[in-house]
């Protein structure tokens, strides 16, 4: 009897212990205070980043820093000001979207003769484009494999057809880094359909017909079109015309081309009015800086004049055609370049063939740009104006200032991003500044 009561009591204690365990177990969720973080630290950092950009813009410095490429701490540029404004424990990096790069690095897979041709096509490696200084640098590396592996190069240039099949994977990798390839070549049907050129450069052969020698921008009806975008660069792009020949009276003469026809361009200095001037052909009128003269119905704007020979033994005028509807004269070789026009065509012949074909968002992640350009005479200043405009687009219209700051490599996995749209500037389309911020600790 006692044993029976004793066991019953033991079971009761056991029950109580089990009930306690269940109770503690089931209520354990409430033991640790679960407080969802308000993420204030990140929000505060984002707020300070946005404030810094807004304040700099209201101060009138932000656009100047970007457009004048006044970036580093040593230049007392963007980095210097952001460092003063943001807490010392914060590091940052800046990316710009929607603006041509300030330095465009070209790699040419070409012979010395082709390199000479490229130099003539670019001519002045330092241009003033819509008030911005843009520099072209050409890498002398000749091996295509080396160029494709070079991470600094923005655009690789090829002259003439080249069998690219041995480099297929390297090209994919290169374009995957959001880089570009530009080829200047006259192509026949076999070359177009080699499996690489047609895919990479978005080319397809059109049977029948002969491409006309007159060419214009493919479709200017919609600003979303690539041809409209390039035409917008074209009308602001200067080409340098050196006036090398002394023709007396302090005037010097050079040449420019309109639709394949050579014209004289004369620079001089008007002592009475104290201004540099430009004349063309037999026209005696002296055109000043920013004035427009008309040749064969096409408007040409004078963007810069240097008529002083004695300072650096060089005189020149930077001029540019400002008509979007300009008709280029590029002659065609028989049985070549029967390229069908499509929505990515930049320049078309007046009878509907493509003369300059672009391709973009090539890789599976939407990166990479390519351009095929019909071969042309490198002295044609009008086509060179277009060629430079294409280079601006091909080099990509975003760039990372973090590489200049040297901070990018330090960026941790967790960081905060702030986007600031700079708009309202008449010269440039709206562009975006991305500020990436992170705490050092």
Q: How far apart are the first and last CA of the chain?
A: 72
Taking CB under 8 A as the rule, does residue 425 contact another protein? no
Q: Measured from the CB atom, is 77 or 402 closer to another protein?
A: 77
Shortest spacing between CB 71 and another protein, in angstroms: 16
Shortest spacing between CB 72 and another protein, in angstroms: 15
Closest CA to 124 of 237, 286, 260, 278: 237
Taking CB under 8 A as the rule, does residue 30 contact another protein? yes
Phi and psi at 296, nearest 5°, equal: 50, 35
How many angstroms separate the CA atoms of 142 and 250, rounded? 43
Number of H-type helices and E-type strands within the chain? 13, 23
Taking CB under 8 A as the rule, does residue 31 contact another protein? yes
Shortest spacing between CB 14 and another protein, in angstroms: 8
Taking CB under 8 A as the rule, does residue 25 contact another protein? no
Closest CA to 121 of 267, 240, 269, 251: 240
How many angstroms separate the CA atoms of 89 and 94, rounded? 17
> Exactly one of 38, 169, 272, 274 binds another protein (CB under 8 A); which one?
38
Q: Point out which residues pair with 92 in neighbouring strands.
A: 437
Three-state secondary structure along 193-235? Answer: CCCCHHHHCCCCECCCCCCCCEEEECCCCCCCCHHHHHHHHHC
Taking CB under 8 A as the rule, does residue 12 contact another protein? yes
> Exactly one of 23, 292, 410, 440 binds another protein (CB under 8 A); which one?
23
**How many residues in the chain?**
441
CB 258 within 8 A of CB 296: yes
Q: Measured from the CB atom, is 22 or 247 closer to another protein?
A: 22
Three-state secondary structure along 1-35? Answer: CHHHHHHHHHHHHHHHHHHHHHHHHHHHHHCCCCC
Taking CB under 8 A as the rule, does residue 40 contact another protein? yes
Taking CB under 8 A as the rule, does residue 4 contact another protein? no
Shortest spacing between CB 38 and another protein, in angstroms: 6
> Exactly one of 1, 3, 39, 58 binds another protein (CB under 8 A); which one?
58
Q: Measured from the CB atom, is 59 or 365 closer to another protein?
A: 59
CA distances to 42, 48, 249, 295, 322 from 262, in Å? 62, 57, 23, 11, 18
Residue 343 has which token pair? 């929505």
Stretch that binds another protein, among 47-55, 173-181, 312-320, 400-408 (CB under 8 A): 47-55
- What torsion, rounded to 10 degrees, do the Cα atoms 80, 82, 84, 88 define? -110
75-134 residues near another protein, rule: CB under 8 A: 80-81, 84-85, 87
Stretch that binds another protein, among 54-62, 229-237, 303-311, 422-430 (CB under 8 A): 54-62
The number of angstroms, rounded, from the C-alpha of 245 to the middle of its chain's C-alpha atoms is: 36
CB 266 within 8 A of CB 251: yes
Q: Measured from the CB atom, is 28 or 414 closer to another protein?
A: 28
CB 383 within 8 A of CB 117: no
Shortest spacing between CB 439 and another protein, in angstroms: 15
Size of the site for another protein (CB under 8 A): 37
Taking CB under 8 A as the rule, does residue 145 contact another protein? no
CA distances to 164, 241, 321, 377 from 259, in Å? 33, 16, 11, 12
Shortest spacing between CB 104 and another protein, in angstroms: 32
Taking CB under 8 A as the rule, does residue 24 contact another protein? yes
Shortest spacing between CB 70 and another protein, in angstroms: 14
Taking CB under 8 A as the rule, does residue 46 contact another protein? no
323-382 residues near another protein, rule: CB under 8 A: none
Taking CB under 8 A as the rule, does residue 261 contact another protein? no
> Exactly one of 4, 5, 74, 222 binds another protein (CB under 8 A); which one?
5
How many angstroms separate the CA atoms of 57 and 120, rounded? 39
Taking CB under 8 A as the rule, does residue 52 contact another protein? yes
Shortest spacing between CB 102 and another protein, in angstroms: 23
Shortest spacing between CB 201 and another protein, in angstroms: 47
> Exactly one of 1, 3, 4, 8 binds another protein (CB under 8 A); which one?
8
How many angstroms separate the CA atoms of 227 and 325, rounded? 11
Q: Measured from the CB atom, is 58 or 169 closer to another protein?
A: 58
Which residues of the chain form contacts with another protein (CB under 8 A)? 5, 8-10, 12-13, 15-17, 19-20, 23-24, 27, 30-33, 35, 38, 40, 44, 47-48, 51-52, 54-56, 58-60, 80-81, 84-85, 87
């Amino acid at each position: 009897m006692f044993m029976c009561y004793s066991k019953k009591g033991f079971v009761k204690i056991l029950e109580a212990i089990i009930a306690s365990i269940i109770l503690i177990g089931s209520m354990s969720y409430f033991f640790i205070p679960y407080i969802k973080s308000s993420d204030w630290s990140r929000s505060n950092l984002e707020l300070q980043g946005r404030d810094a950009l807004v304040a700099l813009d209201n101060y009138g410095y932000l656009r100047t820093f970007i457009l004048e490429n006044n970036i580093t701490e040593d230049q007392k540029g963007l980095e210097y000001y952001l460092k003063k404004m943001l807490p010392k424990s914060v590091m940052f990096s800046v990316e710009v979207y929607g603006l041509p790069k300030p330095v465009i690095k070209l790699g040419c897979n070409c012979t010395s003769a082709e390199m000479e041709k490229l130099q003539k096509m670019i001519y002045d490696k330092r241009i003033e484009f819509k008030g911005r200084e843009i520099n072209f640098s050409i890498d002398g590396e000749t091996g295509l494999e080396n160029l494709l592996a070079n991470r600094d190069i923005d655009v690789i240039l090829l002259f003439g057809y080249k069998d690219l099949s041995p480099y297929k994977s390297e090209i994919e990798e290169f374009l995957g880094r959001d880089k570009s390839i530009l080829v200047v070549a006259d192509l026949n049907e076999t070359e177009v359909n080699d499996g690489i050129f047609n895919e990479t450069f978005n080319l397809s052969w059109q049977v029948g017909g002969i491409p006309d020698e007159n060419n214009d921008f493919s479709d200017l009806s919609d600003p979303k079109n690539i041809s409209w975008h390039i035409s917008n660069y074209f009308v602001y792009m200067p080409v340098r015309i050196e006036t090398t020949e002394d023709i007396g009276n302090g005037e010097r003469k050079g040449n420019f081309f309109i639709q394949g026809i050579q014209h004289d361009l004369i620079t001089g200095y008007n002592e009475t009015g104290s201004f540099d001037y430009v004349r063309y052909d037999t026209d005696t009128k002296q055109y000043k800086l920013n004035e427009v003269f008309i040749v064969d119905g096409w408007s040409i704007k004078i963007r810069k004049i240097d008529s002083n020979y004695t300072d650096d033994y060089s005189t020149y005028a930077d001029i540019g055609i400002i008509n979007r509807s300009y008709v280029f004269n590029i002659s065609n070789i028989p049985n070549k370049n029967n390229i069908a026009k499509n929505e990515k065509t930049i320049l078309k012949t007046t009878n509907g063939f493509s003369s300059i074909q672009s391709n973009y968002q090539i890789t599976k992640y939407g990166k990479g740009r390519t351009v095929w350009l019909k071969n042309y005479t490198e002295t044609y200043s009008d086509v060179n104006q277009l060629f430079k405009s294409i280079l601006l687009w091909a080099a990509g219209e975003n760039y990372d200032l973090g590489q200049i700051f040297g901070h990018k490599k330090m960026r941790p996995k967790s960081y905060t991003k702030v986007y600031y749209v700079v708009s309202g500037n008449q010269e440039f389309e709206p562009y975006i500044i991305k500020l990436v911020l992170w705490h050092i600790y």
